[in-house]
Amino acid sequence: MRLILLGPPGAGKGTQAQRLAHKHHIIQLSTGEMLRAAAAAGTPIGLQAKEIMASGALVPDEIVIGIISDRLDQPDMKNGFILDGFPRTVPQAAALDELLKKKHIKLDAVVELRVNESALLNRVETRVAEMRARGEEVRIDDTPEVLSKRLASYRTLTEPLIHYYSERRKLLTVDGMMTIEHVTREINRILAAIGAAEPNAAAPKLAPGAARKTAGTMDKKAPKTVGRPAKVAAKAGKPASKKAKMAAKRTGTKTSKKPVKKSTGKASKKVTKKRAKR
């Protein structure tokens, strides 16, 4: 199974990605984690990413795509993956499509978690208020002000992907405002409905032949009728001898008997004439 999760900040993509990865034994791919892992591993493209990240600049799309390409080649990717947080723009999606095409990898679906932005802001406000009431430190990026900016960025850059994947008939939309359990069940339901969760997706190609072998109506009955004209004729209400004669004509027996009949007839005529003379 190969999936992409779409949704604004706070929609629950990370939580659902973890649940899907656990249920279907696939790998959750986070671009941030992949960049850090590649940098730590000291790969050529990882070192490029490390230098750029150290300068505080954004890593270019071609480097991110290169790191994803290296990751897809690793053995643990054989069961599939979930991309969480990538692609974020239409050009990134187009580059990813090209990469998957080169690697002969089929993307099964893009799951969009659709949420109400005002409800997300209310959630953050409530969470921040509760954390402050407990005396806990609030993360800098976990405030209504920061979330508003991230939502605006999502609408501008990432939301066009909904139309992009919808045109390619890959988009599946789920109500992200449901409870976590309900969202998980709905995602699994629609994935099963499109066959993305089925390991034997190619099985339908063998169904016609398999059906004939299973039913066996034509294949098993045909051998019983061949070479048994008497029984078939009896069922049809016809004399068995007539059917047998027809079978004999098809096998060529009649043509071999004609010369014998003619020669026998001539011989009997000669004998009759001789007796008459005597």
Active-site residue numbers?
13, 88, 127, 139, 150
Which amino acid is it at 92?
Q
Strands 27-30 and 81-84: parallel
Read off the amino acid at residue 276: A
Residue 187: which of 10, 9, 22 has the closest Cα?
22
**Pair of tokens at residue 177:** 């405002």
> How far from each other are the two terminal CA atoms of the chain, in whole angstroms?
104
What is the number of alpha carbons within 13 Å of residue 129 lying toward its C-beta? 6
Please state, in angstroms and rounded to a whole number, the distance separating the CA atoms of residues 232 and 90: 69
Are 16 and 183 in contact by the 8 Å Cβ rule? The answer is yes
CB 16 within 8 A of CB 114: no
Nearest in space to 2 (alpha carbons), one of 55, 80, 62, 56 = 80
Tokens of 12: 């629950």
